[in-house]
Amino acid sequence: MTRRGFTLVELMIVLSVLTLVTPLVWILATRAADNRDLALDQLSTAQEVRTVADALQQDRRAGQRWAGAPLGWRRGECTVRYQLEGTTLIRDAGPACGGTQTLATGVERLEVTPSGVHLSFARFIRPTLVHRTPIFLPVPQ
């Protein structure tokens, strides 16, 4: 008589191995997803920093520093201001100077110093992992 199937010992061995292997696979998959999300965040942040730097440079060249705002310029009849609304960096100007534009999102901090602008980006990779990127953009007077 031939018996088919697995013995109780064989099943217990397989279950023991699976209880060790499954968490390892889960950890590796989570880390791979986190690394992918982190790389995408770094690309997004780099693009937004380029956008902000280009706008600041263009406004600085075209106008003079305006003391009415922490970060602003007067360009002829236009007043251009940069401000943080929540976590969104806004370039606010009149309709003749480009209107209101969203330059960057996920900005945690905007600090203006005499030598430039400090930005801090905060992106949530997952609820327990936040990627913070401090940036300094020189903006001479």
Which residue, 64, 135, 78, is CA-closest to 103?
135
Q: Which of 39-48, 60-69, 75-84 ranks highest by mean pLDDT?
A: 39-48
State yes or no: pLDDT of 70 exceeds 70.
yes
Cβ-contact 123, 40 below 8 angstroms: no
**67 pLDDT more than 70:** no
Average pLDDT over residues 72-86: 85
The answer on pLDDT for 137 being more than 70 is yes
The structure tokens listed for 43 are 């690309």
Q: Is the pLDDT of residue 75 over 90?
A: no
- Cβ(119)–Cβ(134) below 8 Å: yes
Q: Is the whole model's pTM more than 0.85, yes or no?
A: no
